[in-house]
Amino acid sequence: MREPTLHEGLQALRADRASEPAAIRAVTRLASEFGTPLYVYDKATLTGQFRSFFAAFAPRFPKLRIHYALKANSNGALLSLLRAEGAAAEVVSLGEIRAALRAGFRGDEILFTSSSKGPEEIAKAVEIGAVVNVDSRDELEQVAIHAGATGRTARISFRINPGVDPHTLHQINTGITESKFGLHLEGGLARAGYARAKELPSIRIAGVHCHIGSQITEIEGYVTTARKMLFFVRELKDGLSIRLSFVDLGGGLGVPYHDGEEGLAPEALASALEPLWRKFTADAGYEPELWLEPGRFFVGPAGFLVTRVNSVKETPLKVFVNVNAGSNTLLRPAMYAAHHRARVVGRTGAPETLDIAGDVCETGDILAAERRLPRPEAGDFVVFLDAGAYGFSMASTYNARPLPAEVLVDGDTAALRLVRRQRLEEPGVEMGRLPRREPAPDVVLHGQLVGRQAELLDEKAHDPGVAVLREPGIEIDRRRARPQHLHRSDVRRVVHAPRAVDGRVVVVDDQAAVARGTVPSPRTAIIPRPRPLRPGPRTGESPLPPRPASAPSAPGATLRAANAPGSGNDGRAR
């Protein structure tokens, strides 16, 4: 009889069967290999969510484009999967623009939406040919000036505030009149914006956009918004002779966060919007593309946060289960009083009322309050469900705690993706100057942080990379080897590594050695003889020598170091 796969174990957790062998095996295996806290994403769930959404809308709306809202989760592995499924990208920052490009999205597949765009962000969006979703008249003028100065024509839409309350949390209710987002329909403000855009030679009007909020579970808000938006599109055609290429009705579909709860089904939403769209296209005499932009719906249910119990404490009023994650790891409970289902792995005792408390020094750092769960013991695992959206993307290093790793599960395989866990206690890592979360080639060698956020040679690449060091003949499995006795000044440059390298750090002298692929098996490491560390660079000097001018512009990609079990930190990837 075959053993259950990791995917099957994750599904057992979702079905509230956390005491079954499949769940125990999956969580124990993942925690043992990658450490905790750990974000786990299930590929089958992610692709299934996208396909169910597409299947609901595509037959009803033949001119359809589905964007993924990167703010929900910008992990490069997930972006690549969604792009392969046919998604385009909706982004809100320069960092997300770069993440989308690295994942292979073309510029014309990107919609850039933000209520406060900086000059550098506008410049990049115009340069790559993205649609700039303009939020104000002031911003329109800035986009026009930049495009004109660079000899380009900027493709724009306006974000519209329709004045609709979708009955969601106030903090994520973006369609109400008092919201900071968009040009209002009332008072003719949105119409005046389009009239002005039509006058600007460096602007090409492409479409119209709205997004009324997130975690919406009622259809009525979408229907009311669609009626208002489609009436406005008719007004633009009849009054200003503007025919739009697309109408974007946003995203925000809610997902269930409680057992027995149902979210907003794509089929129900598509069915409600279809008659409105058919009438609009008949009356308008043309049919633009329908754009939609879910984020949470795709990635939320695919994500799990695995935590380890540090201790259990009884007080006169409560029983606290203290885990090794907190509001710095999963912010939503503290920020929104959001509910995430929690599963105690492997315990079958009678349920008790427990508070699952985080490790952040805040009274409000409670991940799950007053839950009826079996009491765990120190060393047990507690897993939070539906953590794929606004989990890692909102994480921080508050309390000087490192960011968690992220793992993608595909059937029975798991691979560390993109993000390492910083080792803040190491020499050379100063508080307030933590390595950026954005993918960059860092390697931990002998307690030193080397690699220093070196520039990626190709922003669009997203395959595993290798660090090329001056010390030849050393090959290190980056998931298993202890930090080596090499100084940070040994780092030379980052080059492309074929997939055959399988995520190992290869210490070589030249790129040709990398191409030969002479590396040991994934479970082995060739360890050099320890040697004294040379003095580091003086204050103010760069720890990295400049990349030689002759270095090839290879499609290098991200590298994240990982420390193995026994490395002094629970075997956690750094």
Catalytically annotated residues: 361
Peptide bond into 256 cis (omega under 30): no
From residue 249, how far is each of 216, 354, 367, 526 by CA, in Å? 13, 41, 33, 55
Measured distance CA(518)–CA(506) in Å, rounded: 9
Could you tell me the two tokens for 530? 């320890």
The residues, ordered by sequence, that sit 6+ positions from 550 with a Cβ below 8 Å of its Cβ are none
* Nearest one of 383, 369, 380, 305 to 347, comparing CA atoms: 380
Q: Is the dihedral of CA 287, 293, 297, 303 positive or negative?
A: positive
**Phi-psi group of 482: left, alpha or beta (phi > 0 → left; psi -120 to 50 → alpha; rest → beta):** beta
**Residue 47: what are its φ and ψ, rounded to 5°?**
-70, -35
Residue found by looking up tokens 């695995």 in the block: 306
Q: Helix, strand, coil proportions of the chain in percent (round to 5)?
A: 30, 20, 50
Taking the mean position of all CA atoms in its chain, how far away is CA 10? Answer: 20
The residues, ordered by sequence, that sit 6+ positions from 309 with a Cβ below 8 Å of its Cβ are 321, 322, 323, 376, 377, 378, 379, 380, 381, 382
From residue 103, how far is each of 79, 80, 292, 461, 466 by CA, in Å? 6, 5, 20, 7, 18
* Nearest one of 125, 134, 114, 146 to 189, comparing CA atoms: 134
Orientation of helix 94-102 relative to helix 119-128, angle to 10°: 30
Asked whether the beta carbons of 371 and 356 are under 8 A apart, the reply is yes
DSSP symbols for 176-230: STTSSSSEESGGGHHHHHHHHHHH-TTEEEEEEE---BSSB--HHHHHHHHHHHH
Measured distance CA(537)–CA(228) in Å, rounded: 62
* SS3 per-residue string spanning 117-133: CCHHHHHHHHHHCCEEE
Could you tell me the two tokens for 437? 């979360």
Q: Which long-range contacts (CB under 8 A, 24 or more apart) does 60-64 make?
A: 60/270, 60/271, 60/273, 60/274, 60/277, 61/270, 61/274, 61/277, 61/290, 63/287, 63/288, 63/289, 63/290, 64/289, 64/290, 64/291, 64/292
